[in-house]
Chain A
């Protein structure tokens, strides 16, 4: 018999070969399809939530423009007329370069006419007297004393006598020791008035500790066990973008590892003899700490954290046995092992800031953690951060 004939014969015989799969296969497919549907539903909820979060984080900026250095250029382009648009008398007057001394209080106003000196008058230190090379701001303070208390408000109410104006975010008084704010933004023309709102050093948040309260709906393992995680902690800023966060957390997860099909539970390693029917409910609880480096992506509401993990877990089955679902999703193996105890691991968190005020921050976050026992926990939740000013 040649090769082709052998193949043909095999094909013919096997083409009619069918075998009825047991009902459990369909039940398992059914359960897995349900689980997928559930996961998809969660994702479908996440999408509008993310959009909503994005909208929430954008709306306040639209209502009260945040004059951050990032949008300084656009602000200037929108609001700053060219020097030739200013009244000629004003230009001439301010170009005369009268020098006046102004006490640097909580508010510092700096002014440059189009013919101002090449050196910018921001070289000063906190508490020292500040020389303005131009009289423009001083004139402003003298002529309109009600505006000097808060030039930002004056700017917003358009009561200032000039329009060539740009506004930058509040600057820490101690930081104004160099012309950085201007040099950093070369697009700022000489005929632009820059208002720097200075904040006293003592209230600089870099020194402040924030308290964190987090809660998450989470899954333990492959998703069989559902539950939640709660966490409390504090963070201390390292610099503008990073902070160190220490915490203590608890978790509680539970679930029936057998689908409601009254399946046989087989005992390993032979896994041959059915020993009973029913479902097994597993519970894991744990206490953990996860020292984390928190970071933020500049100019976005995105936040992230990476850290180590020390976890002590308690398992409802104690150290005697554990239930493991076999690959066919229908049978289970009871296995001995050590399920209580200490483990080390890592944790990754990504978040989206929904709210950011002086004292409060609210963040939607997703976390993933894994430890040396192989326990994987994923979670979705909210984190509230409170900073006492």
Chain B
């Protein structure tokens, strides 16, 4: 079944087609959720909410596009919403002390597997994790991140740099251990 036909069947509420779409994209999207979530369970919740939203809003999807990118956008939005629901004070990032995780210029070359790196990202503090994912992985600019999260672009930049510094430190430690 072609993508267009699959999407059409999903729009008609055919459960078999929805399962096929889910099977096709769930592992990739679970990877996205995993990076944003604090735990595996939270990632599963995010994925669940995201696919419910996908199936409910398929009418808005333009058939000529690739469903993967559209679904990924929904997954990222759901992840951000889920984090917001935890009543995390995103605005408080603007006032974080500089010395918490000092920004460094030393970035080791990453010689880790995807799962190891994702695990590391998952262990980052909320603010670092979200900004790192949005900027480094999804390619959002700091201005866009500022708009999405309601923080200053400078805060987003600062969060990213601290996240990178913390990741670099952990990558170094892990790589030294493995040697």
A19 interfacial contact with B, CB 8 Å: yes
Whether the pair A18, B117 counts as a contact (CB closer than 8 A) is: no
Q: Give the distance in Å from the alpha carbon of A11 to the alpha carbon of B121 in the complex.
A: 12
What are 16 A-B contacts with C-beta separation under 8 Å? A5-B107, A7-B136, A9-B110, A11-B137, A17-B114, A17-B117, A19-B43, A19-B115, A19-B118, A20-B27, A24-B44, A29-B51, A29-B52, A328-B44, A328-B48, A331-B41
Chain B residue with Cβ nearest A16: B114
Whether the pair A14, B15 counts as a contact (CB closer than 8 A) is: no
Contacts of A30 in B (CB 8 A): 15
A32 interfacial contact with B, CB 8 Å: yes
Per CB-CB distance, the 9 closest pairs between chain A and chain B, nearest first, are A17-B114, A18-B27, A1-B107, A17-B31, A21-B30, A19-B30, A7-B136, A328-B45, A18-B31
B108 interfacial contact with A, CB 8 Å: yes
- Name A1-36 residues within 8 Å CB distance of B: 1-3, 5-7, 9-11, 13-14, 16-22, 24-26, 28-30, 32-33, 36
Chain B residue with Cβ nearest A2: B107
Q: Is the interface of A mostly helix, strand, loop or mixed?
A: helix
- The listed residue with most A CB atoms (<10 A of its CB), out of B31, B52, B55, is B31
The interface size of chain A toward B, counting residues with CB under 8 Å, comes to: 33
The interface size of chain B toward A, counting residues with CB under 8 Å, comes to: 38
A160 interfacial contact with B, CB 8 Å: no
Contacts of A33 in B (CB 8 A): 15, 18, 52, 55
B128 interfacial contact with A, CB 8 Å: no
Contacts of A331 in B (CB 8 A): 41
Contact of B117 among A13, A21, A25 (CB under 8 A): A13
B170 interfacial contact with A, CB 8 Å: no
Contacts of A20 in B (CB 8 A): 26-27, 30
A37 interfacial contact with B, CB 8 Å: yes
Chain A residue with Cβ nearest B114: A17
**From residue A368, how far is it (CB to closest CB) to chain B in Å?**
23
Q: Give the distance in Å from the alpha carbon of A29 to the alpha carbon of B51 in the complex.
A: 7
Whether the pair A6, B136 counts as a contact (CB closer than 8 A) is: yes
Q: Give the distance in Å from the alpha carbon of A250 to the alpha carbon of B113 in the complex.
A: 61
**From residue B88, how far is it (CB to closest CB) to chain A in Å?**
15
Q: Give the distance in Å from the alpha carbon of A37 to the alpha carbon of B12 in the complex.
A: 12
Chain B residue with Cβ nearest A40: B13
**From residue A106, how far is it (CB to closest CB) to chain B in Å?**
62
Task: List residues of chain A with CB under 8 Å of any chain B CB.
Answer: 1-3, 5-7, 9-11, 13-14, 16-22, 24-26, 28-30, 32-33, 36-37, 327-331
Q: Give the distance in Å from the alpha carbon of A192 to the alpha carbon of B56 in the complex.
A: 61
- Name B112-135 residues within 8 Å CB distance of A: 112-115, 117-118, 121, 135
Chain A residue with Cβ nearest B117: A13
Whether the pair A10, B34 counts as a contact (CB closer than 8 A) is: no
Q: Give the distance in Å from the alpha carbon of A18 to the alpha carbon of B118 in the complex.
A: 10
B51-81, CB under 8 A of A: which get 1 and which 0? 1100110000000000000000000000000
Q: Give the distance in Å from the alpha carbon of A110 to the alpha carbon of B27 in the complex.
A: 84
